[in-house]
Amino acid sequence: MAAAVLAAAPGTTAVPSALEVLFRQRYVQLCRLAALMLRDRDLAEQVVMEAFTHTYAARGRLRDPSRAEAYLRQSVVNEARTVLRRRGREWRVNEVSASLARSETAAPVEARIELERVTRAVQKLPEQQRLTVLLRYYADLPEAQIADTLNCAVGTVKSNLSKARANLARALADSDGTGPDG
């Protein structure tokens, strides 16, 4: 299926059907991943859209057609990183739960607390560790593919993952206890 993206004639004006298929299959998933990275759903949709346009524009340069999806994922991650970097200090920690957890009224209080606590801990991680955690635990990618997506070595992924887990365990233990301050 992904291979068919390349098969589309470069000169056609309509969206190639193969890209549309890929789009329909992966759009929601990638949007959610981007939303976790950016903590903003509208922005996430924009980023994914941008990634798809890039992938379409780059279809002539893709050497390995089977890697169109990987290219797409990498594109989403890179776009999201750029946005985060550009946004930089505008970001307020207060916005974390606001933009992420919008429809949580239905969930029981305990579930909401748990969600809030864990996502907050994840979002406090350094960027590399956070991306690694998202790709590992949300996108369920194997380490090799994470390394591919983040453009780093498998060893780096492993070390980031173990650091992130240690950080998370510590943060969660803190917030499970009596709390950091009085």
Scanning residues 104 to 163, which ones bind another protein (CB under 8 A)?
104-105, 107, 109-119, 122, 124, 133-134, 137-138
In this complex, which beta carbon is closest to another protein, that of residue 125 or of residue 150? 125
User: Which of positions 37-76 make contact with another protein (CB under 8 A)?
Assistant: 40-43, 45-46, 49, 52-53, 56-61
- Provide the residue type at 25 as one letter: Q
Check binding of 77 to another protein (CB under 8 A): no
Measured CA to CA, the distance from residue 126 to residue 147 in angstroms comes to 17
Site size with another protein, rule: CB under 8 A? 76
Tokens describing residue 104: 């949580």
CA distances (Å), 74 to each of 53, 57, 145, in order? 13, 15, 10
In this complex, which beta carbon is closest to another protein, that of residue 55 or of residue 74? 55
Selected binder of another protein within 3, 66, 95, 144 (CB under 8 A): 95
In this complex, which beta carbon is closest to another protein, that of residue 46 or of residue 78? 46
Upper half-sphere CA count for residue 102 (Cβ side, 13 Å): 8
Quickly tell me which residue has 């990618």 as its tokens.
141
Tokens describing residue 160: 């980031």
Shortest Cβ 122–another protein spacing (Å): 7
Packed helices 68-87 and 41-57: angle between N→C axes, nearest 10 degrees? 130
